[in-house]
């Protein structure tokens, strides 16, 4: 009898304690966790995954709280993965996020999980991806993943999302410059939050300019990396075509929406923009190509992890010998790498 089967049944039945236990097993890479994920896999693929990223303090958690409220009102079950900018030892941000989303703490239709940026066996990206799958399998039809848009891990995590919302706020200095370039490239919808503050319009203009100037380079970069591109060919248009987001040839133009998360202003318009993007991904050939490109990216990431694990496991002593050979300058590091790859292939 599969020792996980009872747990699988309870996760699929959306029992909060079982969901929490499954997440801990997966996080610790416990024996049986990969069987658990395999057993859950057939029940995944139904959730819409929304990545929410942006500068620290831009109001991501406050906005997520509003999005939870809006989607709950529409009868959806919502899962949240909050990837914290702090280490697991300070815990401040984890607590902060819990409090900010605490209005939903007693709502059975909402499951919030914090992930610290360190201390994950197999990496943060894998942890986040697996937690998303557990939330998906347990019937959360919207899964929100909140990350700070600064590091490589955070960028990779946005690849697990179907729709990426980038949150900016005025009055934080050069916010458009501060954010990691790859994150802007991957943005499907922009929210300029804290529109109650001065400078929101100029942040909107900066974004428009950045997108219109950046298109050529963004697309060149995407092509180079083998990504499907979803930038626009003819510059960014705010208003007009941005209202639908989709042009005649099915290209998606990331719309920019102003909002005030603390008051809930502009949230419905934002939800509408997110839903339009979802319809684009689901309903157009370009959207589906985009979705497949992201899946390919995830598969490559998971392949890379597995191959490295397998190689380190299989070649252990050979790797030590290669290090020694390079250190004593008997072999150059390029040849040493080639030899290791050849030895791994020969197995």
Which parts of this chain interact with Mg ion (CB under 5 A)?
A: 60-61
Q: Which residues make up the interface to ligand GTP (CB under 6 A)?
A: 56-62, 85, 93, 100, 148, 193-194, 196-197, 260-262
Give residues with Cβ within 8 angstroms of 110, minimum separation 6. 68, 72, 77, 78, 79, 80, 104
**What's the count of helices (H) and strands (E) in the chain, helices before strands?**
13, 7
Count of C-beta atoms within a 10 Å radius of residue 29: 14
For the CB of residue 307, give the shortest distance to Mg ion in the complex, in Å.
34
For the CB of residue 115, give the shortest distance to ligand GTP in the complex, in Å.
12
**Residue for token pair 């900066």:** 206
Q: Pick between residue 200 and residue 336 the one whose CB is nearest to ligand GTP.
A: 200
For the CB of residue 196, give the shortest distance to ligand GTP in the complex, in Å.
5
Residue 139 in 3-state DSSP? coil
**Which among Mg ion, ligand GTP, none contacts residue 56 (Cβ within 5 to 8 A by kind)?**
ligand GTP
Q: Pick between residue 60 and residue 290 the one whose CB is nearest to Mg ion.
A: 60
Nearest to 338 by CA among 324, 309, 318: 318
For the CB of residue 114, give the shortest distance to Mg ion in the complex, in Å.
10
Q: Pick between residue 27 and residue 97 the one whose CB is nearest to Mg ion.
A: 97
**Which among ligand GTP, Mg ion, none contacts residue 262 (Cβ within 5 to 8 A by kind)?**
ligand GTP
Nearest to 146 by CA among 93, 184, 102, 103: 93
C-alpha–C-alpha distance, residues 328 and 322, integer Å: 10
In order, the DSSP letters of 51-104 are EEEESTTSSHHHHHHHHHHHHHHTT--EEEEEE-SS-TTT-HHHHHHHHHTGGG
Q: Pick between residue 148 and residue 204 the one whose CB is nearest to Mg ion.
A: 148
Report helix, strand and coil shares of the chain as percent, to nearest 5.
55, 10, 35
For the CB of residue 52, give the shortest distance to Mg ion in the complex, in Å.
9
Structure token pair of residue 146: 């909140």
**Which among ligand GTP, Mg ion, none contacts residue 83 (Cβ within 5 to 8 A by kind)?**
none
**Which among Mg ion, ligand GTP, none contacts residue 343 (Cβ within 5 to 8 A by kind)?**
none
**Which among Mg ion, ligand GTP, none contacts residue 261 (Cβ within 5 to 8 A by kind)?**
ligand GTP
Q: Pick between residue 143 and residue 267 the one whose CB is nearest to ligand GTP.
A: 267
**Which among Mg ion, ligand GTP, none contacts residue 13 (Cβ within 5 to 8 A by kind)?**
none
Q: Which residue is nearest to Mg ion (CB)?
A: 61
For the CB of residue 101, give the shortest distance to Mg ion in the complex, in Å.
9
């Amino acid at each position: 009898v599969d020792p996980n089967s009872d747990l699988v049944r309870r996760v699929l039945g959306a029992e909060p304690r079982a969901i929490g236990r499954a997440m801990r097993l997966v996080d610790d890479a416990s024996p049986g966790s990969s069987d658990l994920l395999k057993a859950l896999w057939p029940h995944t693929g139904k959730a819409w995954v929304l990545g929410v990223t942006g500068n620290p303090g831009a109001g991501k958690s406050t906005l997520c709280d509003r999005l939870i409220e809006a989607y709950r009102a529409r009868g959806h079950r919502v899962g949240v993965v909050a990837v914290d900018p702090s280490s697991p030892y300070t815990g401040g941000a984890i607590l902060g996020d819990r409090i900010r989303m605490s209005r939903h703490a007693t709502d059975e239709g909402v499951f919030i999980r914090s992930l610290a940026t360190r201390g994950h066996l197999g990496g943060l990206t894998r942890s986040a991806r697996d937690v998303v799958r557990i939330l998906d399998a347990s019937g959360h039809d919207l899964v929100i993943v909140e990350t700070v848009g600064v590091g490589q891990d955070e960028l990779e995590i946005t690849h697990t999302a179907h729709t990426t919302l980038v949150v900016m706020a005025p009055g934080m200095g050069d916010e458009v410059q501060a954010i990691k370039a790859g994150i802007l490239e991957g943005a499907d919808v922009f929210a300029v939050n804290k529109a109650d503050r001065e400078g929101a319009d100029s942040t909107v203009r900066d974004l428009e300019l950045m997108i219109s100037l950046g298109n050529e380079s963004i697309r060149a970069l995407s092509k180079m990396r083998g990504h499907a591109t979803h930038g626009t060919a003819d510059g960014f248009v705010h208003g007009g075509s941005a209202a639908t987001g989709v042009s005649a040839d099915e290209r998606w133009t990331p719309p920019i929406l102003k909002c005030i998360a603390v008051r809930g202003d502009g949230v419905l318009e934002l939800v509408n923009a997110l839903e339009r993007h979802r319809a684009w991904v689901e309903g157009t050939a370009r959207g589906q190509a985009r979705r497949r490109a992201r899946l390919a990216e995830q598969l490559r990431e998971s392949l890379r992890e597995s191959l490295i694990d397998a190689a380190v496991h299989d070649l252990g002593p050979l790797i030590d010998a290669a290090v020694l050979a390079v250190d004593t300058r008997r072999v150059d590091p390029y040849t040493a790498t080639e030899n290791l790859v050849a030895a791994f292939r020969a197995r």
